[in-house]
Amino acid sequence: MRKITRRTALGLLGGLAAGGAGLAWANNVIPPLTWLSPKTGQPLLALNTIPLPRFSDGPTKIELKATLGMVDVAGTKANLYSYNQTIPGPLLRLREGEPVQLRFNNATQMHTNLHFHGLHISPEIDDPFRHGHPGEILAYNFTVPKGQAGTYWYHPHSHGEVASQLFSGLAGPIVIEGPLDRLPELAAAEEHVLVLKDLSVAGEDVAPYGIFEAGGKKGNWVMVNGAVQPVLTAKKATLRLRLLNACTFRYFRLSLEGATMHLIATDDGFIEKPVALKELVLSPGERAEVMIQLDRPGNFRLLDNSDLLMTIAAPAQPQPTDLPAKLATIETLDPASAKVTRQIVLTRSGNDFKINGQTFLMSRIDFKANLGDLEIWEVENQHSQDHSFHLHTFPFQVLSQNGTAPAYRAWKDTIAIAPRTKVRLAVPLRDFTGLTVFHCHLAEHEDHGMMGTLEVI
C-alpha cells in the first residue's frame, strides 16, 4: 500500500504551482491522509482456483467465506468485502454432472447469500430469496447441469444490497467443463478466465454510493482479475479467453487492436461455430468466450472503447494453431409452438426502476407458468437509458432484436437492451418448478425495483 502522508501531500502541492487555493489547503485542512492508487502493468494474475477434492464415492466439496477486511487488489490493499479474501472471488472449476456440496459461511455483519448466475439448477436451491444472516452458514447442494459447459459466476442476491455488495468485491467466476472442451483445437489453446470488474476506493474503503449514483455507479479502477491494465504474457499463440462482466453498471466494448476475436461461446455455452468479431459488447452479467490468434511477436492491446484494458504479449515466434470448425449443435426453438407470449416493459420514474409499471414485490407473483412450456417473452426498453435483462434458472434464445434475427443461434441468460428497443426471447421452461426471478442486471436498477417473479408449476 502506498500512503500519501500529510508531508508528501504538502511536497506534492509545493511541487505544483502553489496558488492561493493550494496554500489555504496547506494551512487548513488536508483531506484524507491516505490515498490508494492502483499499480498498472503488472502481470495478469491467474485466478485462485479452489482446489476441489474429488472423491469417487462422494460429492465435490467447496467452502466459500464472505468477509470484510484488507485484501490485495490492483497492486495495493483495501478494506473490501470478498470471498475467501480474494478479489475477484476464487474460480470454481466444475465438471458437467458432478455433485457439489458448497458451504457458504457469511462471516460478515450483513445479510448476504449466493446466486449461481446462469446455472440451470432448481430455484429451490439457487434461491434468490434466501437470507444469510450475519454469521450464518448456508449449504448449497446441487448437481452441475449437463450440456452447460461454459463460463458462469456467483454473486450475492440480497435484494436492495446487491449493487453495494457486488461493487465492493463479492463476485467470482465458475467454469463448467464438458466433453466439447476436449476438441483438439480447444485443448491446444492457452486458456484464461478474465473477470472484468470496476472499483472505486476512498481512503482504504470502497467508495460509498453517492446520492447521484442510485441509477448506477462506475468505478474508476477498471480491473482484469483484480489488476489495472495487466500484462498477459502468452506462452502459446492461440488463446481462449473466458470473459465475464462482473460490474454493477459498467458496459465493456472490447476489441483487440490488430487482431480478430472469434466468438466461440456466449452466456450459457458454446455456439455452433466460431464467429469473427471486430468488437464485443458485454453488459453487466454477460459472459463470452473468444479465441484469438497472435500472428506476430510483440504486444497486442485489448481495448475497452479506446482505453487500454490489458496488454497481451505474444510469444517470440508465434505459431497460431487452428480454430475449431464446428462446436455445439444448438436446437431450434419453434416460436409457433409457444404456449404463452408475455410483454415485459422496462421504465424508470425518478429512482423507481419498473417492470410493467411496478417495482419489485417479493410477495407478488408476476407470472405463473407451466413446466414444459415454451414461452415467448417480448422485452421492451421504453427508457432512454440502457438496461440488461436477466432471467434465472432458464436459459433462453434471442429470436430478434428490434425485428432483426441474430446472426447465429446461442443460449443466453442476460441480454443488453438498448434504449427504446425490443427483444423477443424464446424461453423453454424445462426441468424445474418453483419461484424464480428476472431482473435488470444493472445491479442498482435491480435494487431499485426492476425485478419480477416467475412461478413455474
User: Minimal distance in Å, beta carbon 21 to ligand C2O?
Assistant: 45
Interaction pattern, residues 370-409, with ligand C2O; x per rule: CB under 6 A: --------------------x-x-----------------
Q: Which of 360, 335, 315, 363 is nearest to 190 (CA)?
A: 315
User: Is residue 422 a contact residue for ligand C2O (CB under 6 A)?
Assistant: no
User: Minimal distance in Å, beta carbon 198 to ligand C2O?
Assistant: 16
442 binds, among Cu ion, ligand C2O, none (CB under 5 to 8 A by kind): Cu ion
User: Minimal distance in Å, beta carbon 439 to ligand C2O?
Assistant: 6
- Nearest residue to ligand C2O on Cβ basis: 117
User: Is residue 448 a contact residue for ligand C2O (CB under 6 A)?
Assistant: no
How many residues in the shown chain lie near ligand C2O by CB under 6 A?
10
The label of the residue with cell 445479510 reads: 111
Choices 55-63, 307-315, 389-397, 400-408; region in contact with Cu ion by CB under 5 A: 389-397
User: Is residue 392 a contact residue for Cu ion (CB under 5 A)?
Assistant: yes
Interaction pattern, residues 266-295, with ligand C2O; x per rule: CB under 6 A: -------------------x----------
250 binds, among ligand C2O, Cu ion, none (CB under 5 to 8 A by kind): none
| Closer of 80 and 442 to Cu ion (Cβ) | 442
| Closer of 221 and 360 to ligand C2O (Cβ) | 360
157 binds, among ligand C2O, Cu ion, none (CB under 5 to 8 A by kind): ligand C2O
- How far apart, in whole angstroms, are the C-alpha atoms of residue 232 and residue 126? 34
Interaction pattern, residues 123-152, with ligand C2O; x per rule: CB under 6 A: -----x------------------------
Q: Which residues bind ligand C2O (CB under 6 A)?
A: 115, 117, 128, 155, 157, 285, 390, 392, 439, 441
